[in-house]
Amino acid sequence: MLTREQFFANHSRKYKSLSPSQKNERYAAYVKSMRGRNTTGTSVRQHSSSPTPGLTSPPRQRLRAPPKPLGLSKCSLNYMRALVDPWDLEDEACIPDTISLPSFKFSPICRGTFQVGTQGVGFATIDPWLLAYGTQPCVRATTATYAASTFNPALPDIQSFFGNSVFTHVGDTRDYRVVGCGIRIRYAGNELNRGGRIISYRQPNNGNIPGSALDVFLNNLETVTVPVDREWHSSVFKPARAQDISYQNSSVVLTPEYSQLLLITGATPGTTFEFDAICFFEVVGANLPTLTHSHSDPVGMSVVSTALSTHQPTTTPSDDLSSVISSISSIAETALSFVPGIVNTGARALRAAAPLIKAGAPLALALM
Protein backbone atom coordinates (compact mmCIF):
# COMPACT_ATOMS: atom_id res chain seq x y z
CA MET A 1 0.00 0.00 0.00
CA LEU A 2 1.28 3.47 -0.98
CA THR A 3 1.93 6.23 1.48
CA ARG A 4 0.00 9.52 1.15
CA GLU A 5 2.96 11.20 -0.57
CA GLN A 6 3.45 8.29 -2.98
CA PHE A 7 -0.26 8.16 -3.81
CA PHE A 8 -0.53 11.82 -4.81
CA ALA A 9 2.85 11.75 -6.58
CA ASN A 10 1.52 9.01 -8.87
CA HIS A 11 -1.69 11.00 -9.53
CA SER A 12 -0.33 14.53 -9.57
CA ARG A 13 -2.22 15.67 -12.69
CA LYS A 14 -5.51 13.99 -11.87
CA TYR A 15 -5.81 15.30 -8.30
CA LYS A 16 -3.92 18.59 -8.72
CA SER A 17 -7.02 20.81 -8.57
CA LEU A 18 -8.56 19.09 -5.50
CA SER A 19 -8.83 20.85 -2.15
CA PRO A 20 -7.02 19.41 0.91
CA SER A 21 -10.26 17.96 2.28
CA GLN A 22 -11.02 16.32 -1.07
CA LYS A 23 -7.52 14.86 -1.20
CA ASN A 24 -8.06 13.40 2.27
CA GLU A 25 -11.27 11.76 1.12
CA ARG A 26 -9.61 10.30 -2.00
CA TYR A 27 -6.69 8.88 0.00
CA ALA A 28 -9.02 7.46 2.65
CA ALA A 29 -11.03 5.72 -0.09
CA TYR A 30 -7.78 4.29 -1.53
CA VAL A 31 -6.70 2.95 1.89
CA LYS A 32 -10.11 1.38 2.46
CA SER A 33 -10.08 -0.34 -0.90
CA MET A 34 -6.58 -1.74 -0.37
CA ARG A 35 -7.49 -3.10 3.08
CA GLY A 36 -10.58 -4.72 1.61
CA ARG A 37 -8.47 -6.53 -0.96
CA ASN A 38 -6.09 -7.93 1.70
CA THR A 39 -8.88 -9.20 3.98
CA THR A 40 -10.68 -11.00 1.14
CA GLY A 41 -7.51 -12.81 0.19
CA THR A 42 -6.96 -10.93 -3.09
CA SER A 43 -3.27 -10.36 -3.47
CA VAL A 44 -2.10 -7.04 -4.81
CA ARG A 45 0.89 -8.73 -6.38
CA GLN A 46 0.85 -12.13 -8.00
CA HIS A 47 3.80 -14.22 -6.88
CA SER A 48 5.41 -16.78 -9.11
CA SER A 49 5.12 -20.40 -8.05
CA SER A 50 8.73 -21.03 -9.02
CA PRO A 51 11.31 -20.58 -6.22
CA THR A 52 13.45 -17.49 -6.22
CA PRO A 53 17.06 -18.32 -7.15
CA GLY A 54 19.28 -18.45 -4.06
CA LEU A 55 16.32 -18.55 -1.68
CA THR A 56 15.20 -22.15 -2.08
CA SER A 57 14.23 -23.93 1.11
CA PRO A 58 16.27 -26.95 2.24
CA PRO A 59 14.66 -30.32 1.67
CA ARG A 60 12.34 -31.38 4.48
CA GLN A 61 14.07 -33.64 6.98
CA ARG A 62 12.30 -36.81 8.00
CA LEU A 63 11.78 -37.21 11.73
CA ARG A 64 13.85 -40.06 13.05
CA ALA A 65 13.83 -41.84 16.38
CA PRO A 66 16.75 -40.99 18.68
CA PRO A 67 19.70 -43.37 18.30
CA LYS A 68 19.92 -46.29 20.67
CA PRO A 69 23.01 -45.63 22.83
CA LEU A 70 25.60 -48.17 21.71
CA GLY A 71 22.90 -50.79 21.54
CA LEU A 72 23.16 -51.12 25.34
CA SER A 73 20.11 -52.59 27.01
CA LYS A 74 18.20 -50.83 29.75
CA CYS A 75 19.65 -53.41 32.13
CA SER A 76 23.21 -52.35 31.21
CA LEU A 77 22.43 -48.66 31.65
CA ASN A 78 20.87 -49.26 35.08
CA TYR A 79 23.78 -51.54 35.99
CA MET A 80 26.14 -48.66 35.24
CA ARG A 81 24.09 -46.35 37.44
CA ALA A 82 23.89 -48.88 40.30
CA LEU A 83 27.68 -49.27 40.35
CA VAL A 84 28.54 -45.58 40.08
CA ASP A 85 25.66 -43.56 41.57
CA PRO A 86 23.22 -45.93 43.30
CA TRP A 87 21.54 -43.05 45.18
CA ASP A 88 20.19 -41.60 41.94
CA LEU A 89 18.57 -44.74 40.53
CA GLU A 90 14.82 -45.11 41.01
CA ASP A 91 14.39 -47.99 38.58
CA GLU A 92 14.98 -51.73 38.83
CA ALA A 93 18.59 -52.77 38.37
CA CYS A 94 19.96 -56.06 37.09
CA ILE A 95 23.25 -57.58 35.97
CA PRO A 96 23.27 -57.93 32.14
CA ASP A 97 24.46 -61.54 32.28
CA THR A 98 24.97 -63.98 29.40
CA ILE A 99 21.73 -65.77 30.29
CA SER A 100 18.48 -63.88 30.79
CA LEU A 101 16.55 -65.15 33.81
CA PRO A 102 13.53 -63.58 35.50
CA SER A 103 14.31 -62.35 39.01
CA PHE A 104 12.86 -60.29 41.82
CA LYS A 105 14.69 -56.98 42.11
CA PHE A 106 14.74 -54.87 45.25
CA SER A 107 16.84 -52.14 46.85
CA PRO A 108 16.89 -52.01 50.68
CA ILE A 109 18.44 -49.06 52.51
CA CYS A 110 20.08 -48.47 55.87
CA ARG A 111 20.53 -45.05 57.46
CA GLY A 112 21.75 -43.75 60.81
CA THR A 113 24.32 -41.68 62.71
CA PHE A 114 27.59 -42.48 64.43
CA GLN A 115 30.23 -40.66 66.45
CA VAL A 116 33.99 -40.16 66.37
CA GLY A 117 35.83 -41.96 69.21
CA THR A 118 38.09 -40.59 71.92
CA GLN A 119 41.21 -40.78 69.70
CA GLY A 120 39.66 -38.77 66.87
CA VAL A 121 38.94 -41.94 64.85
CA GLY A 122 35.54 -43.11 63.65
CA PHE A 123 34.19 -45.23 60.83
CA ALA A 124 31.18 -46.76 59.11
CA THR A 125 31.60 -50.05 57.26
CA ILE A 126 29.11 -52.14 55.30
CA ASP A 127 28.65 -55.76 54.25
CA PRO A 128 26.68 -55.39 50.98
CA TRP A 129 25.40 -58.96 51.08
CA LEU A 130 23.89 -58.68 54.56
CA LEU A 131 21.68 -55.78 53.50
CA ALA A 132 19.61 -58.45 51.72
CA TYR A 133 18.28 -59.44 55.16
CA GLY A 134 16.43 -57.14 57.51
CA THR A 135 17.42 -59.40 60.39
CA GLN A 136 21.20 -59.11 60.03
CA PRO A 137 23.46 -56.15 60.96
CA CYS A 138 24.64 -54.79 57.61
CA VAL A 139 26.39 -51.60 58.81
CA ARG A 140 28.74 -51.28 61.77
CA ALA A 141 29.93 -47.91 63.05
CA THR A 142 31.69 -46.34 66.01
CA THR A 143 30.34 -44.74 69.16
CA ALA A 144 31.79 -41.80 71.11
CA THR A 145 33.59 -44.25 73.47
CA TYR A 146 35.57 -45.97 70.69
CA ALA A 147 39.14 -45.75 72.03
CA ALA A 148 41.35 -47.15 69.23
CA SER A 149 43.58 -44.99 67.05
CA THR A 150 42.98 -47.13 63.95
CA PHE A 151 40.31 -49.37 62.39
CA ASN A 152 39.42 -52.26 64.66
CA PRO A 153 35.90 -53.66 64.17
CA ALA A 154 36.45 -56.27 66.91
CA LEU A 155 36.32 -53.73 69.75
CA PRO A 156 33.16 -53.49 71.86
CA ASP A 157 32.44 -49.80 71.24
CA ILE A 158 30.82 -50.54 67.88
CA GLN A 159 27.13 -50.22 67.11
CA SER A 160 25.21 -52.31 64.55
CA PHE A 161 22.54 -51.14 62.13
CA PHE A 162 19.90 -53.10 60.21
CA GLY A 163 18.42 -52.40 56.79
CA ASN A 164 14.76 -52.37 55.81
CA SER A 165 14.73 -55.56 53.72
CA VAL A 166 11.61 -57.69 54.16
CA PHE A 167 13.59 -60.95 53.88
CA THR A 168 14.84 -62.88 56.91
CA HIS A 169 17.78 -65.29 57.04
CA VAL A 170 15.99 -67.96 59.06
CA GLY A 171 15.35 -70.99 56.84
CA ASP A 172 16.03 -68.99 53.67
CA THR A 173 16.66 -71.10 50.55
CA ARG A 174 16.72 -68.28 47.98
CA ASP A 175 19.77 -67.19 45.98
CA TYR A 176 20.95 -63.57 45.86
CA ARG A 177 23.42 -61.45 43.97
CA VAL A 178 24.56 -57.85 44.48
CA VAL A 179 23.97 -55.58 41.49
CA GLY A 180 25.38 -52.44 43.09
CA CYS A 181 25.90 -50.95 46.53
CA GLY A 182 27.16 -47.77 48.12
CA ILE A 183 27.64 -46.22 51.53
CA ARG A 184 28.20 -42.50 52.05
CA ILE A 185 28.74 -40.25 55.06
CA ARG A 186 28.70 -36.54 55.79
CA TYR A 187 29.52 -34.37 58.77
CA ALA A 188 26.50 -33.50 60.93
CA GLY A 189 28.10 -31.54 63.80
CA ASN A 190 28.63 -27.84 64.38
CA GLU A 191 31.08 -25.89 62.25
CA LEU A 192 33.51 -25.05 65.08
CA ASN A 193 34.29 -28.74 65.65
CA ARG A 194 34.60 -29.74 62.00
CA GLY A 195 38.02 -31.18 61.13
CA GLY A 196 39.98 -34.26 60.12
CA ARG A 197 39.90 -36.30 56.93
CA ILE A 198 37.84 -39.11 55.40
CA ILE A 199 39.48 -42.22 53.92
CA SER A 200 37.30 -43.97 51.33
CA TYR A 201 38.31 -47.62 50.98
CA ARG A 202 37.12 -50.88 49.43
CA GLN A 203 38.78 -54.21 50.13
CA PRO A 204 40.25 -55.12 46.69
CA ASN A 205 38.70 -58.61 46.66
CA ASN A 206 35.50 -57.56 48.41
CA GLY A 207 36.48 -59.68 51.40
CA ASN A 208 36.18 -58.87 55.07
CA ILE A 209 38.39 -55.96 56.21
CA PRO A 210 40.44 -56.98 59.25
CA GLY A 211 41.66 -54.51 61.86
CA SER A 212 44.44 -52.59 60.12
CA ALA A 213 46.80 -49.66 60.57
CA LEU A 214 46.14 -46.54 58.54
CA ASP A 215 49.00 -47.14 56.12
CA VAL A 216 47.30 -50.36 54.92
CA PHE A 217 44.38 -48.34 53.66
CA LEU A 218 46.47 -45.49 52.30
CA ASN A 219 48.73 -47.85 50.32
CA ASN A 220 45.76 -49.28 48.44
CA LEU A 221 45.75 -47.68 44.97
CA GLU A 222 41.96 -47.45 44.99
CA THR A 223 41.82 -45.47 48.23
CA VAL A 224 41.22 -41.72 48.24
CA THR A 225 41.28 -39.20 51.08
CA VAL A 226 39.35 -35.94 51.37
CA PRO A 227 39.06 -33.28 54.09
CA VAL A 228 35.97 -33.39 56.27
CA ASP A 229 33.33 -30.98 54.95
CA ARG A 230 29.55 -31.03 54.75
CA GLU A 231 29.35 -32.87 51.42
CA TRP A 232 28.55 -36.56 51.02
CA HIS A 233 31.61 -38.81 50.58
CA SER A 234 31.11 -42.37 49.45
CA SER A 235 32.52 -45.84 48.93
CA VAL A 236 30.90 -47.85 46.14
CA PHE A 237 30.82 -51.54 45.33
CA LYS A 238 32.78 -52.93 42.42
CA PRO A 239 32.68 -56.59 41.29
CA ALA A 240 36.06 -58.26 41.79
CA ARG A 241 35.31 -61.99 42.00
CA ALA A 242 33.18 -64.51 40.14
CA GLN A 243 30.81 -64.69 43.10
CA ASP A 244 30.23 -60.94 42.91
CA ILE A 245 28.17 -61.37 39.73
CA SER A 246 26.72 -64.82 40.49
CA TYR A 247 23.77 -65.95 42.53
CA GLN A 248 24.78 -67.15 46.01
CA ASN A 249 22.83 -69.11 48.61
CA SER A 250 22.21 -67.93 52.16
CA SER A 251 25.36 -69.58 53.55
CA VAL A 252 27.54 -67.34 51.37
CA VAL A 253 25.38 -64.28 51.99
CA LEU A 254 25.64 -64.74 55.75
CA THR A 255 29.46 -65.00 55.73
CA PRO A 256 30.63 -61.64 57.16
CA GLU A 257 32.38 -59.53 54.53
CA TYR A 258 32.44 -55.89 55.66
CA SER A 259 34.28 -54.83 52.53
CA GLN A 260 33.49 -51.10 52.13
CA LEU A 261 34.77 -48.54 54.60
CA LEU A 262 34.66 -44.81 55.28
CA LEU A 263 37.27 -44.09 57.96
CA ILE A 264 37.61 -40.75 59.74
CA THR A 265 40.90 -39.66 61.33
CA GLY A 266 42.05 -36.50 63.07
CA ALA A 267 38.51 -35.41 63.90
CA THR A 268 37.18 -33.86 67.09
CA PRO A 269 36.16 -36.64 69.52
CA GLY A 270 32.42 -37.05 69.95
CA THR A 271 31.41 -35.27 66.73
CA THR A 272 28.56 -36.82 64.76
CA PHE A 273 28.37 -38.07 61.18
CA GLU A 274 25.38 -39.51 59.37
CA PHE A 275 25.51 -42.39 56.90
CA ASP A 276 23.28 -43.51 54.04
CA ALA A 277 23.62 -46.99 52.50
CA ILE A 278 21.72 -48.58 49.61
CA CYS A 279 22.13 -51.86 47.73
CA PHE A 280 20.46 -53.31 44.66
CA PHE A 281 19.80 -57.04 44.57
CA GLU A 282 18.46 -59.73 42.29
CA VAL A 283 16.99 -62.79 43.95
CA VAL A 284 15.61 -66.07 42.60
CA GLY A 285 13.84 -68.87 44.39
CA ALA A 286 10.50 -69.71 45.93
CA ASN A 287 7.83 -67.44 47.38
CA LEU A 288 8.90 -64.22 45.67
CA PRO A 289 6.82 -61.23 44.59
CA THR A 290 6.53 -60.26 40.93
CA LEU A 291 9.46 -61.41 38.79
CA THR A 292 10.75 -59.28 35.93
CA HIS A 293 13.06 -60.21 33.09
CA SER A 294 16.72 -59.35 33.14
CA HIS A 295 18.52 -58.69 29.86
CA SER A 296 21.23 -60.74 28.25
CA ASP A 297 23.78 -58.13 27.19
CA PRO A 298 27.35 -59.44 27.64
CA VAL A 299 28.73 -56.69 25.39
CA GLY A 300 27.08 -54.00 27.51
CA MET A 301 28.29 -55.68 30.69
CA SER A 302 31.85 -55.75 29.39
CA VAL A 303 31.76 -52.11 28.28
CA VAL A 304 30.34 -50.91 31.60
CA SER A 305 32.84 -52.94 33.65
CA THR A 306 35.77 -51.65 31.60
CA ALA A 307 34.66 -48.03 31.95
CA LEU A 308 34.41 -48.09 35.76
CA SER A 309 36.75 -45.81 37.65
CA THR A 310 39.85 -47.46 39.12
CA HIS A 311 39.45 -45.60 42.42
CA GLN A 312 36.73 -44.57 44.80
CA PRO A 313 35.04 -41.33 43.71
CA THR A 314 36.71 -38.14 44.89
CA THR A 315 33.83 -36.06 43.52
CA THR A 316 30.09 -36.50 43.69
CA PRO A 317 28.81 -39.77 42.16
CA SER A 318 26.98 -37.80 39.44
CA ASP A 319 30.31 -36.28 38.33
CA ASP A 320 31.88 -39.73 38.35
CA LEU A 321 28.98 -41.04 36.28
CA SER A 322 29.58 -38.45 33.56
CA SER A 323 33.21 -39.60 33.39
CA VAL A 324 32.11 -43.22 33.05
CA ILE A 325 29.73 -42.27 30.23
CA SER A 326 32.57 -40.53 28.37
CA SER A 327 34.75 -43.60 28.88
CA ILE A 328 32.03 -45.87 27.52
CA SER A 329 31.80 -43.83 24.32
CA SER A 330 35.58 -44.02 23.82
CA ILE A 331 35.69 -47.76 24.51
CA ALA A 332 32.84 -48.39 22.09
CA GLU A 333 34.40 -46.34 19.31
CA THR A 334 37.67 -48.28 19.52
CA ALA A 335 36.94 -51.78 20.77
CA LEU A 336 33.46 -52.14 19.21
CA SER A 337 34.02 -50.30 15.93
CA PHE A 338 33.15 -53.47 13.99
CA VAL A 339 29.46 -52.76 14.66
CA PRO A 340 28.51 -50.46 11.76
CA GLY A 341 26.49 -47.35 12.47
CA ILE A 342 25.22 -48.15 15.94
CA VAL A 343 28.44 -47.58 17.83
CA ASN A 344 29.43 -44.22 16.44
CA THR A 345 25.90 -42.86 16.69
CA GLY A 346 25.46 -44.20 20.22
CA ALA A 347 28.85 -42.91 21.29
CA ARG A 348 27.91 -39.41 20.19
CA ALA A 349 24.65 -39.69 22.12
CA LEU A 350 26.46 -40.74 25.30
CA ARG A 351 29.09 -38.05 24.95
CA ALA A 352 26.38 -35.43 24.49
CA ALA A 353 24.53 -36.79 27.52
CA ALA A 354 27.52 -36.51 29.87
CA PRO A 355 27.08 -32.78 30.68
CA LEU A 356 23.37 -33.35 31.32
CA ILE A 357 24.13 -36.22 33.70
CA LYS A 358 26.69 -34.05 35.49
CA ALA A 359 24.05 -31.34 35.86
CA GLY A 360 21.75 -33.82 37.56
CA ALA A 361 19.43 -34.87 34.72
CA PRO A 362 18.02 -38.41 34.95
CA LEU A 363 19.87 -40.88 32.75
CA ALA A 364 16.82 -41.81 30.69
CA LEU A 365 15.99 -38.15 30.03
CA ALA A 366 19.58 -37.22 29.12
CA LEU A 367 19.73 -40.00 26.54
CA MET A 368 16.51 -39.00 24.79
**Could you tell me which residues come within 8 angstroms of residue 320 by beta carbon, excluding any fewer than 6 positions away?**
84, 85, 309, 313
Answer yes or no: is 312 within a domain: yes
Same domain, 116 and 231: yes
Write out the DSSP string of 186-230. Answer: EE-S-GGG---EEEEEE-TTS-PPPPB-HHHHHTSTT-EEEE--S
**Could you tell me which residues come within 8 angstroms of residue 287 by beta carbon, excluding any fewer than 6 positions away?**
none
Answer yes or no: is 204 within a domain: yes
Answer yes or no: is 51 within a domain: no
Split into its structural domains, the chain has a count of: 2
Average pLDDT over residues 51-73: 50
Answer yes or no: is 39 within a domain: no
**Domain's final residue, options 261, 293, 325:** 293
Same domain, 85 and 203: no
Comparing 41 with 246, the larger pLDDT belongs to 246
What is the four-CA torsion angle of 295, 297, 303, 308, rounded to 10 degrees? 30
Same domain, 307 and 282: no
Q: What does the mean pLDDT of the chain come to?
A: 81
Q: 145: domain CATH number?
A: 2.60.120.20
Same domain, 158 and 200: yes
Answer yes or no: is 281 within a domain: yes
Same domain, 121 and 169: yes
Answer yes or no: is 1 within a domain: no
Residue 188: pLDDT band (50, 70, 90) is: very high
Same domain, 262 and 221: yes
Answer yes or no: is 41 within a domain: no
Cβ distance 223 to 150 under 8 Å? no
Answer yes or no: is 212 within a domain: yes
Same domain, 326 and 253: no
**Could you report the per-residue pLDDT of 140-184, keeping only the tens digit for each?**
999 999 999 999 998 989 999 999 999 999 999 999 999 999 999
Average pLDDT over residues 84-107: 89
Residue 28: pLDDT band (50, 70, 90) is: confident
pLDDT of 57 reads: 46
**Could you report the per-residue pLDDT of 218-269, keeping only the tens digit for each?**
998 889 899 999 999 999 999 999 989 999 999 999 999 999 999 999 999 9
pLDDT of 365 reads: 44
Comparing 8 with 289, the larger pLDDT belongs to 289
Is the model's pTM score more than 0.75? no
pLDDT of 368 reads: 44
**Domain's final residue, options 293, 323, 351:** 293
**Domain's final residue, options 274, 293, 312:** 293
Domain that holds residue 242: 101-293
pLDDT of 331 reads: 59
pLDDT of 222 reads: 86
CA-closest candidate to residue 212, choices 203, 348, 271, 312:
203
**Could you report the per-residue pLDDT of 193-231, keeping only the tens digit for each?**
999 999 999 999 999 998 888 889 999 888 989 999 999
pLDDT > 60? residue 45: no
